[in-house]
Structure 1
Amino acid sequence: MSGSRLRPALALLAATLIAVAGLIAVAPGAAAAVEDDGADCPVSLPGSFPSTAKLPDPFKKIDGTRVTSKTDWRCRRQEIKKLAERTIHGPKPVKPASVTGSVSATNITVNVSENGRSAGFSAGVQLPSGTGPFPAVFAVGGFGADTATIRASGAAVISYDPLAVGKEGTPRNNKQGAFYSIYGASSGTGLLAAWAWGVSRIIDVIEQAGGQFLKADALGVTGCSRYGKGAFAVGVLDQRIALTMPIESGTAGVPILRGIPGESGSQGLGNAYGEQPWFGDAFSAYTGNPAGLPVDTHELVGMVAPRGLFIMENPHIDWLGARSGSVAALAGAEVYKALGVGANITYWSDVQDGTHCASRPEWRTPLQQNIQKFLLRTGSAAGTIRIAAKKAGNLAEWRDWSTPTLTDGPGTTTPTTTPTAPTTPTTPAGGACTAAVSVNQWTGGFVTTIRVTAGAAPITGWTVTANLPAGAVVTSVWNAGRSGDTGAVRFTNTGFNGSLSAGQSTEFGYQGTGTATGTTAACAPG
């Protein structure tokens, strides 16, 4: 074939590949090659949404149908993104017309131009020992997960100053920083989305450098407290981030927004909205009405899938809303499970040191494992969920939807349904109490919630015997005492949840390794 005839054929092939890009399978947990893989998905947002106290169904599309295939998730994810931009964060603009800069062993510079406006900012770089190019982790605000462990694991640290991009301490009608120099001081976009935009522009420059010092396809992000909020937003809003690691992010971070008002001591939505312009301006309509939100943060957790996600929380400081954070993680993990990558999410609030933003020994091993798996691509450790008993949320209370079994190919439109969480109730002789089992299963591990309900008469105590499948091992429990960890495991009430009036219910939970699907349970009073 002549060159003149070959070129149109190659162009046609390239166009075809682009058109079916959403149907091409990628390695589980791999970062996308673009900032927003679903940007081509048509999304039409309605003018209003029904209010619901339950968490919205992440698998229910705007048109009322449910996701049925893994490839459907690409455009469903885009719907969630647009809803979050409208109500929570404000819009994150696409890549500007001009992004230039440089990468060295110690520094990254960024220069941005759009619509006649220009701005610039920079970030510091600390390389690990060895020969590059290296994977790298953005440390929002300069700290987050232990940077010494990150570098010792073989990844560089990029010290990113978000305040140069979106400054705190400014009124909403006069926001400052590189983002607002480009898009206007009265932009409705909040600081968290602006900070995420700044990281995206740094990634643009790293890509342009062509592997000089840093690998553009092996990037992570971490941050603690307000910078944990920022790290979460970065990972949610840029699919080139392979590993997202927010720490103690609190309100406006990982915790479900619907849960904050009911979680004693947590920072209120209005308080967080007023403290700094973290949220987008439009969130003002929901500070007293989170039930009116068409999305919640569990769906933002799901937006990170199938990429790596390691959420670290502190249960010792009520202000941080760790109970609501555990619900976000459990519900978001259902998206990971549906996509067949349940092993790619880790949640860990079971820590001893209550100091805010401490470097905790409990997190060191999973941090190393996540870096090896998602950045170095030399590991395969499964994620785990370790929830502190004092801040254990109950997903069953927050959802009225179930997790679908998604096919690998293109899905078909099906009528919407209102499923309920799977349960396996059993009633002992006499009907004094029942035990209903709900399992959140992922590859290699699970969290089980058991609802204990008194029968026609009150009870003053209860014992539940859970019969675990072979190979399942209980590793931790909350709201109950435990005897045994495999086979028939006995759970007894604590001092505060043993007395139940007729028909009243209480719940406890446990976490384990292996497969818990098929667990049965029986309840006996006393």
Structure 2
Amino acid sequence: MTPNQTTVKPLFLLLFTLITSALTAQPEANYDETKVPKFSVPDPLVTFGGEAITDSQQWEEKRKLEIYQFFEKQIYGKVPALLDEYSFKVIEQDNNALGGKAQRKQIAVGIKKNNRSLNFNILLYLPIGNENAPVFLGYNFHGNHTVTDDPNVIITEAWNENNEDLKIRNNKATEASRGVRMNRWAIDKMLDKGYGIATVYYGEIDPDKNDFSDGLHSLFYEEGQTKPKTNEWGSIAAWAYGLSRAMDYLENDTNISNVIVFGHSRLGKAALWAGATDLRFAGVIGNDSGCGGAALSKRKFGETIGQINTSFPHWFSESFKKYSNKEEMLPVDQHELLALIAPRPLYVASAVEDEWADPKGEFLSAQYATKVYELYDKKGISSTDVQEVNHPIKQTLAYHMRSGKHDVTDYDWDQYIAWAETFAK
């Protein structure tokens, strides 16, 4: 051993660590409009080859598919194969739930692929007296039992992210967490207005952690595979897929007329992608969905592609990582995700204090998507509309920015229910 060998190796490791940290470090989030870079918004009505789209038929035949395929392969990731088997069973039912206000059903859904299986539960409340009810379908973050204090709702056994405020410990839900998220689900208001509510714990589809060894993905692996391929689905696409499997049951329930898919935050991203991939959803709601949801990526305001791919590397396809801190290279932006939902009703919502999700970027995205809705003679957010706090714009493509922070509130549900009564029933 030479005299300086013991010092050279630690210095080399230190240098390597510093270089690696510098390469992977993310710029601080920008909350200053004067620092938003100049960017070009891709025109949804001009194909990648430069051809102008002038009517809905051209959109459907030429433009919609190429945009969809880009999002599918380069952003959210492609579902690798068809299921082998799907089943459902009503495991509990009460026709006098919630003080006689609702029928409650709990449905066990089973899916199988490659001799592997996954099960999840749907909690469904339908209003008594409305035998053909529209239903809001959405994921919850910690278990079906958290959205209501109904003592008969089954407690999930799936892995759960710890949250002391919500009494989730040791990655396991217990009776202590029953009803802790009632504030985000205006169930009584929905039922009183003749709407049903269906919800699923998203962790039963794919646990929200950077581990592809469990959850939905693992059912589809080929021999020796341990994670999705480069252009295959991340967790957001898996959650969207789960919403469609819930829809498989709901569309066959004779007491349901149609289904509006809803999601908040990361689950808002999943709801928007579910709406784009599954035409059976009669309407779509993205609440505070932000980066990778409704917000424009090229603005680089609040959360960016680089930050979301670093913090949550499992959410998107591996191919999306090449756009980290390189948003200008994207040939699409999120307004074109919204456009894929046209002409069905779509509601984009923001909160004024939720700068991380870029409320202005969500508003502009809805505005830029409007020209596609107009091909179908549907109204959206016009170029003269102004983003104002607590002043909803309720067209087929609707928008509001409420006061407050990143959350789902009664104000949000009041708007969604009133909008749905006009556009989605």
Which TM class, normalised by the smaller chain length? 0.5 to 0.7
Task: State the distance in 2 between where 1:294 and 1:162 align.
Answer: 31
Q: Distance in 1 between matches of 2:354 and 2:291?
A: 13
Given the alignment, which residue of 394, 399, 402 partners 1:347?
399
1:98 is matched with 85
CA contact under 8 A between 2:352 and 2:405: conserved in structure 1? no
Counterpart of 1:178 (choices 195, 216, 226) is 216
Secondary structure of residue in 1 paired with 2:127: coil
Query: Aligned letter for 2:120?
Result: F
Tell me how far 1:213 sits from its aligned partner. 3.4
Which of 321, 334, 349 matches 2:371? Answer: 334
Residue among 193, 200, 206 paired with 1:166? 206
* Partner residue, 1:125: 124
Distance 2:86 2:413 in 1: 36
**Which of 271, 288, 312 matches 1:231?**
271
The Cα shift of 1:82 comes to 0.5
Paired letter, 2:72: E
Deviations 1:199-253 (A, max 9, x none): 111112233x3x33333xx101212222222222222221111111111112121
Q: Which residue of 1 aligns with 2:242?
A: 198
**Which residue is equivalent to 1:54?**
40
Counterpart position of 1:272 = 308
Contact map agreement 1:165 1:179 (CA 8 A) in 2: no
Name which of 275, 287, 295 aligns with 1:255: 295
Q: CA deviation at 1:64?
A: 2.9
Q: Report if aligned partners of 1:166, 1:180 keep a CA contact under 8 Å in 2.
A: no
Distance 1:270 1:306 in 2: 32
The CA RMSD measured in Å over matched residues stands at 2.3
Partner SS for 1:219 = strand
Deviations along 1:384-418, whole A, 9 cap, x unmatched? xxxxxxxxxxxxxxxxxxxxxxxxxxxxxxxxxxx
Does the Cα contact within 8 Å between 2:206 and 2:216 map onto a contact in 1? Answer: yes
Residues 1:245 and 2:294 are matched in the alignment = no
Q: Residue 76 of structure 2 corresponds to which residue in structure 1? A: 89
Partners of 1:358 and 1:131 in 2: CA distance: 26
Whole-Å separation in 1 of the counterparts to 2:285 and 2:318: 26
SS at match of 1:203: helix
**In structure 2, what residue type is equivalent to 1:347?**
Y
Q: 1:145 to 1:57 in 2, by over 3 A?
A: farther
Instruction: Go from structure 1 to structure 2 and tell me whether the alpha carbon gap of 1:274 and 1:79 turns closer, same or farther (over 3 Å shift).
Output: same
Report what 2:388 is aligned to: none
Mapped partners of 1:310, 1:69: distance in 2: 23
Deviation at 1:175, TM superposition (A): 4.8
Count how many residue pairs are aligned between Structure 1 and Structure 2.
Answer: 312
Which residue does 1:312 correspond to in 2?
349
Q: CA deviation at 1:339?
A: 2.1
**How far apart, CA to CA, are the structure 1 residues paired with 2:276 and 2:185?**
18
Q: TM-score, normalised by structure 1?
A: 0.55
Tell me the amino acid that sits aligned with residue 189 of structure 2. T
Deviation at 1:364, TM superposition (A): 4.8
Name the counterpart of 2:60.
74
2:347 and 2:73 map into 1 onto residues whose CA distance is 26
Unaligned stretches of 5+ residues in structure 1: 1-51, 377-526
Contact 2:263 2:269 (C-alpha < 8 Å) held by counterparts: yes
1:144-185 deviation per Cα after TM superposition (whole angstroms, max 9, x unaligned): 6633332222121111112211211224xx353134333464
Gaps of 5+ in 2: 1-37, 94-103, 141-146, 148-180, 380-394
Any idea what the Cα deviations from partners look like across 1:53-109, whole Å, max 9, x if unmatched?
412121122443222321222232221110101211011356524222135641222
Code of the residue aligned with 1:368 in structure 2: it is: I
The alpha-carbon deviation at position 312 of structure 1 amounts to 1.0
Q: Secondary structure at the match of 1:241?
A: coil
In structure 2, distance between residues paired with 1:178 and 1:337:
37
The one-letter code sitting in structure 1 at the alignment partner of 2:256 is L
What residue in structure 2 maps to residue 381 of structure 1? none
> 2:418 matched to which residue of 1?
369
Identity %: 24
Q: Which residue number in structure 2 is paired with residue 136 of structure 1?
A: 135
User: Alpha-carbon deviation of 1:305?
Assistant: 0.7
Letter in 2 for 1:186: K
Amino acid at match of 2:195: A
Per the alignment, residue 388 of structure 1 pairs with: none
Change (3 A) 1:196 1:364: closer
> Per-residue deviation at 1:294?
2.1
For 2:331, the equivalent position in structure 1 comes to 294
Amino acid at match of 1:151: L
Using the TM superposition, name which of 192-201 and 337-346 deviates more: 337-346
CA distance in 2, matches of 1:135, 1:272: 34
Report the AA paired with residue 247 of structure 2. I
- Return the offset for 1:369: 2.6
Q: Give the Cα–Cα distance (whole angstroms) in 2 for the partners of residues 375 and 327 of structure 1.
A: 23
Q: Secondary structure at the match of 2:320?
A: helix
Are the counterparts in 2 of residues 90 and 190 from structure 1 also a CA contact under 8 Å?
yes
Structure 1 residues 74 and 149: alpha-carbon distance in aligned structure 2, compared to 1, 3 A threshold: farther
Structure whose CA Rg is larger:
1
**1:56 is paired with a residue of what secondary structure?**
coil
Measure the CA separation in 1 of the matches of 2:270 and 2:74: 17
Q: Distance in 2 between matches of 1:327 and 1:269?
A: 18
Deviations 1:37-61 (A, max 9, x none): xxxxxxxxxxxxxxx9412121122
For residues 238 and 287 of structure 2, what CA distance do their matches in structure 1 show? 19
Q: Which amino acid aligns with 1:162?
A: Y
Code of the residue aligned with 1:123 in structure 2: it is I
* 2:255 paired with 1:213: yes
